[in-house]
Amino acid sequence: MRVLHISDHADPLATPGGEFCGGQNVYVRELARRLAGSGCTVDVVTRWADGRLARQEPIAPGARTVRVPAGPVGPLPRERFGDVLDEFCAGVVGLHEEVGGYDVVHSHYWYSAVAALRLGDRHGVPLVHTHHSLGAVRRAAIGRDEADEAEEHFAARHRIERRIGLRAAAVVASSPGELADLRRLLGTPLDRLHLVPPGVDTELLTPRDRALARAELSLPADAPVVLFVGRLEARKGWEDLVAAFALVRRTLPGAVLVVVGGDAPERRAGPGPLAALVERHGLTGSVDLRGPVPHAATARYYSAADVTAVPSHYEPFGLVAVESMACGTPVVATGVGGLRWSVADPRVGALVPPRDPAALAKALVDVLASGSAGRRQACVDRATRGYGAERWVDGIREVYRRVAAPRVGATGLS
């Protein structure tokens, strides 16, 4: 089976945690790699956002990234992607024609849906879509002023999200909550919805010796360590976490907050908003800013931590929470989006309201005080049994089989 993934802004080979790079990048890369390992041929088309990267690059045997020029080669904020969308769509259609077509097209995020719809109009290829986030839910999660300023953007996004839900052969939801939102907010037909939670690589993301991991990362051996992994954008709740960590330090003065994500230290032109906030709270010296790290290196950070904080205002799934649990580290997360399901078991951590630093601090202290050793096996069990990569990829392949079978026949579904 030949599969095309459209991932407009999320290059699967970019380093997660940097600007515009996060869970979607990991999702698309791991899905492409594992589909290729199961016999599919997979292309991932994305906008060419880094001139240091090649036009085409292998992900794994049978899977590659194809970078399409759309506007000047270089970084582009997601909110400006519409400026280059026509050029990107033309590149996607051109790739489809160049290779002789695909059996299934799987688009990721709403800009990618525009390209998928245009490709479907022209060539009739079956479409599968994963939203990764919904405009209506995200709009409700941000401040009213910001939402009002972007009203035209959100209106256009809603139209496209609704249209892809009605036109695609299948829409993949990552959690029961997202599935309900797709029915309620977008009117996506129930017979096109498929609940397939993302999975994690439990061979890569596995518990490591905590003392050794801390020594390798030059972290204090005995200090309580709180970890944050993700992009430093407002909806990730990092400002709430810094305020909460200031409260944590009142009870546990030796605690350390490690932040993986944001700009790399050597690329910071100045202190940046996070460092400035840390200084205002008097936390300089107790917050360790590591910048983005390769995904393969995150297991060491998860294993070194006593608890991972996921304080997002909106989180469609929350891959970081499951990755942390796979490494045996409990999670304190906000009760939003997919986190309400992945962190529902109190043995693996705690859920708190969003935008509530006091509640976040209390939960962090409670988990730190209770110790993580007793939670380790429960975390690993929940990650491996509910969110294993094999189960995830099998679910996606079954979706592809259903939509592609009339075109390629059973013998073509390798």
Lowest mean pLDDT among 11-20, 118-127, 221-230: 11-20
**Strands (E) located in 30-173:** 41-47, 56-60, 63-68, 104-108, 127-130, 170-173
Whether residue 265 is predicted with pLDDT greater than 60 in this model: the reply is no
Q: Indicate the fold that domain 2-199+389-412 takes in CATH.
A: Rossmann fold (3.40.50)
Q: pLDDT at position 220, please?
A: 97
Q: Answer yes or no: is pLDDT of 20 > 60.
A: no
Give Cβ neighbours of residue 342 (< 8 Å, ≥ 6 apart). Answer: 175, 317, 318, 321, 322, 325, 333, 382, 386, 387
Kindly state the DSSP code that residue 69 receives in the 8-state scheme. P
Reported as a pLDDT band with limits 50, 70 and 90, residue 411 is: very low
> For domain 210-386, is the CATH number 3.30.70.100?
no
pLDDT band per the 50, 70, 90 thresholds, residue 323: very high
DSSP state letter for 83:
G
Q: Look at 62 and 145; give whichever has higher pLDDT.
A: 62
The pLDDT value recorded for residue 134 is 94
The pLDDT score that the predictor gives to residue 413 is: 46
> Per residue in 163-203, pLDDT tens?
999 999 999 999 999 999 999 999 999 999 999 999 999 99
DSSP string, 110-150: HHHHHHHHHHHHHH---EEEE-SS-HHHHHHHS-HHHHHHT
Q: Work out the percent of the chain whose per-residue pLDDT is above 90.
A: 81
Q: Which residue shows structure tokens 């029915």?
A: 183
Give the C-alpha separation, 328 to 207, whole Å. 5
The 10s digit of each residue's pLDDT in 90-101 is 999 999 999 999
Q: Is the pTM of this model over 0.85?
A: yes
Across residues 303-327, what is the average pLDDT?
Answer: 96
Measured distance CA(68)–CA(82) in Å, rounded? 15
pLDDT value at residue 270: 54
Q: Where in the chain is the domain with CATH 3.40.50.2000?
A: 2-199+389-412, 210-386
User: In 174-269, where do the E strands start and end?
Assistant: 193-195, 225-229, 256-260
The residue among 213 and 266 whose pLDDT is bigger is 213
Question: What average pLDDT does this structure show over 108-121?
Answer: 97
Q: Which residue has the higher pLDDT, 17 or 70?
A: 70
Gap between the Cα atoms of 332 and 350, Å rounded: 5
Q: Angle 110-123/85-99 helices, nearest 10 degrees?
A: 50
Average pLDDT over residues 265-286: 80
pLDDT at 412 over 50: no
For the record, the structure tokens of 33 come out as: 């790699």
Mean pLDDT of 264-280: 73
